[in-house]
Amino acid sequence: MTDLANLGTRRQPMPRPATLDEYLRIRPQMIDTTGAPLVLTSCESCKRQHFTVEPCAAEAPCPRCGSAAGRCRRPSGHAAASWHAERAAAFEELCNTREAAGLPQVARWPEPTQPPAAPTLFEWDQP
């Protein structure tokens, strides 16, 4: 695994979106790790739209189903609704490796300003 502490510190200029609709609205304002605006491309290899600095889906085949296409496959051979967790992790690792090598990548989302409050078992555990 790539040491995340060594990766760039440039972050997206907006908070992480909560929904796909929010993501689609802010996508034109997103930046790469050099601060440059991201550019979308329609990729012939994976048949999906992605940012030019991102690896193509074909570069991160799924360890579970073997798919190198834009979508993972179910055991029946039909396209899955989303990538398998193993493929998402492999893709993230590929992006991290490229960023660690100095190649521009999609800038990460800013960290939350406050960590989420941990639930407590008893009310007297509250400060």
Whether residue 123 lies inside any domain: the answer is: no
DSSP assignment of 70-95:
SS-B-TTSSBPSS--HHHHHHHHHHH
In a domain, 34, yes or no: yes
Residue numbers of the domain that contains 60: 4-107
Q: Does residue 120 sit within a domain? A: no
- Give the Cα separation of 79 and 99 in Å (integer): 30
Instruction: Inform me whether the pLDDT recorded for 125 exceeds 60.
Output: no
User: What tens digit of pLDDT does each residue of 1-60 get?
Assistant: 444 554 567 899 999 999 989 999 999 999 999 999 999 999 888 888 899 999 998 999
Is 122 part of any domain?
A: no
Nearest by Cα to 7 from 84, 111, 86: 111
Indicate whether 73 pLDDT > 90: yes
32 occurs within a structural domain? yes
Q: What is the pLDDT of residue 69?
A: 85
What was the pLDDT predicted at 117? 58
Residue 85 lies in a domain: yes
Cβ contacts of residue 102 below 8 Å, gap of 6+? none
Looking at the domain assignment, is residue 41 inside a domain?
yes
Taking the C-alpha atoms of residue 48 and residue 15, their distance in angstroms, rounded to an integer, is 25
What is the rounded (10 degree) CA torsion for 52, 100, 66, 43?
0
Task: Say if 124 falls within a structural domain.
Answer: no
- CA dist 93 → 25, 51, 63, 86 (Å): 26, 17, 13, 11
Tokens of 74: 């179910």
Q: What does pTM read for this prediction?
A: 0.74
Number of domains in the chain: 1
Residue 22 to residue 8: CA distance in whole angstroms: 25
